[in-house]
A and B are shown apart, each in its own frame.
Chain A
Amino acid sequence: MAWKKILYERQSYADNYVDHTFLDELKKNVNTHTYRFWPTVIESGVITQQLSSIVLFVAAFAFMNADKLSLKAVFLLSGTAAVLGYAAYRCICVSTATLPAISSFNVIEESQTKRSVTDDLKTAILFLALAYGLSPILHTLTESISTDTIYAMTAAMLFGNLVLYDYGPNAAMVSGTVSFNAAMFASVCIASRLATEWHTFATVTLAVEMFALMPILRRKLKARYGWHVQVGMTLLLNTAAFLSLCELYPPCAVIFLIIFIFITFGCPLWLIRIQPLKDNIHGPWDEASCDTEVPTHL
């Protein structure tokens, strides 16, 4: 008797018997995405942007430590950047809302909680008050810990921020919360090494701006305006980081440049080179998976 692929009738074969037509249902590389060079290069900008913002933060600390950057300059810069950035964010929100709402991206935005300007203002005041009130404590927090330990902890935390940052994929390792918290912990560690309490306050505020507010703005700009703005932001941030490293410690600037070229051009080339070697097999034996994810703006 021919074997039928059913279980509701008793057959003379074992329950887990398969015949020669089994492998006909094998499909290879069904969901593979073929990468093209230039779009991948543009997308890699996300990583380099985060890296350069970390570098800029550390450079700002180093300049403040060496008294090359005055406190007033830091306050002015961060204040104007925050105000301008927030204004830009609000404009983009408004202009996105008035677009013809076809793209699913708008649907996501509508469904998220609408934060009004008052909410954001309240958060900002809360944060500034907390940082200002805690800055005397923060200033003497790590006096009894050696400088090397502090630098090591800061470096580890910032590295954690870089690795665990939410670049976009739905991987298990990604954790926006942990990366932000690690960055804040690093900023507290390093801010306690500065001269006065105002310096500490400035560093913590700068850290919040660079690690919490700027990523939101960057994502918004990228979503709204596409790849031109993405390329522009990447070039701008990386040039700023490179120049500050040149000013600070030139060998580091060279290393930064090498890393930048590797991430931007080397990694996409490598990815495309090994993409044909991909050999995923799919078949009816796979676990069922629900496709409830909303397609991203890519």
Chain B
Amino acid sequence: MLLGIFLLWVLLRSPLLPTVADSVLFFAENLVRILQELLNWLMGVPAGLKLNVPLNFALGKFFLYHIYLWKGYIAILLMPNLAPLLLCIALVGIGGVSFQLSMLSDLMGLLTFHMYCFYVYAARLYFLMFYAVRSLFRLFRGKKWNVLRERVDSCSYDMDQLFAGSILFAVLLFLLPTVLMYYAVFTSLRVAVIVIQSTLSALIGFINSSPVYPVILWLRQAPATKGNIKYTILSSSQSNCIWLSMELETASLENILQHSFPACQERAARCTYFRPLLTSLLQGELVGSAGLFGKRDN
């Protein structure tokens, strides 16, 4: 919280806010320009690979039109509202720097929304093609997926199913590399954005669970940090009962830290998520920011 207020003061006092707004706008426009150049590169001969020309052209034009719409969106919706938005982010620092970081993460999500859209289009198209090619390859071999037994069984197809199936298989197989290229490019962009957002999220989690408050309490020997009970035997008088004095002792620092760390350990244990992620990427299933580092805890 102190950090947040500090950042807020820094942002409000210095003439930093307009420059930050300008740099954010510059970042957004740069992003669009880079994406346009990327698409033009894909529509040509990307990395020396020769893709299917009509499909390449169609996909490239489709995405370029989307970028054209996005430019309009930035000009109309974002530009006038950018300075107040940044002011909001700075003001929210009252709640602590974690608030500002999360708003920064959301702002980043807003600015890269077009990349998210592209990723979803490309992923859906690739998923559909991959699924179709897999199923038609089974038809090519004369087999079928048995839903009841969940295995591949032989199947005697009719002549018209075979006609349509083998021609569609050839067409989709030859068109797959083009779609795969687009999918790979947009997925890597999206994964980069997800990595940045997840890093921010991890940072926020770390800040949230960092034991600043307990340590400060411990330093002040506040009543909340009392851990042990210490009994001292007072000089016993001749009476039958023993008089004890009870004192509450401050717990040791390692005790306090141990109590506040389980959340961090849990997060570290959940980072082994890569194999299912790789499989879903290869098959074209959508991956979200929740899938990269385990569920976001709030």
Contacts and interface: CB of A to CB of B under 8 A. Distances in A.
A109 B50 CA distance: 51
A142 interface: yes
Interface in A127-164: 127, 130-131, 134, 137-138, 140-145
B166 interface: yes
A53 to B, nearest CB: 17
A189 B163 contact: no
Given A181-B165, A212-B163, A175 B171 contact: no
Contacts of A134: 167-168, 171
Contacts of B51: 144
Looking at chain A's contact residues, the main secondary structure is helix
A185 B52 contact: no
Looking at chain B's contact residues, the main secondary structure is helix
B113 interface: no
Interface residues of A, number: 26
Contacts of B169: 181, 185
Nearest to A189: B170
Contact of B171 (A126, A141, A177, A181): A141
Contacts of A185: 140, 166, 169-170
Given A126-B164, A134-B167, A138-B171, A181 B52 contact: no
B157 interface: yes
A181 B174 contact: no
- Scoring B52, B162, B166, B169 by chain A CB atoms within 10 A of each residue's CB, the highest score goes to B166
Nearest to A139: B54
B150 interface: no
A245 interface: no
B140 A178 contact: yes
B160 A127 contact: yes
A208 interface: yes
Contacts of B163: 123, 126-127, 130, 184, 208, 212
B53 A181 contact: no
Contacts of A178: 140-142
Contacts of A144: 50-53
Given A175-B142, A178-B140, A178-B141, A142 B174 contact: yes
A137 B170 contact: no
Given A181-B166, A185-B170, A212 B159 contact: yes
A177 B174 contact: no
A130 B167 CA distance: 9
A123 B157 CA distance: 14
- Scoring B162, B167, B168, B174 by chain A CB atoms within 10 A of each residue's CB, the highest score goes to B167
A134 B168 CA distance: 9
Interface string B54-83: 100000000000000000000000000000
Given A142-B174, A178-B140, A131 B52 contact: no
Contacts of B86: none
A130 B52 contact: no
Nearest to A123: B160
Contacts of A180: 162, 166
Contact of B167 (A123, A131, A177, A212): A131
A271 B168 CA distance: 42
- Scoring B142, B163, B168, B175 by chain A CB atoms within 10 A of each residue's CB, the highest score goes to B163
Question: Which 5 A-B pairs give the minimum distances between C-beta atoms?
Answer: A177-B142, A144-B50, A184-B166, A188-B170, A181-B166
22 contacts: A126-B163, A130-B163, A130-B164, A134-B167, A134-B171, A137-B54, A140-B52, A140-B54, A141-B171, A144-B51, A175-B142, A177-B140, A177-B162, A181-B139, A181-B162, A181-B166, A184-B163, A185-B140, A185-B166, A185-B169, A189-B170, A204-B167
Given A140-B53, A141-B170, 9 more contacts: A130-B164, A131-B167, A134-B167, A140-B54, A177-B156, A178-B140, A184-B167, A188-B166, A188-B167
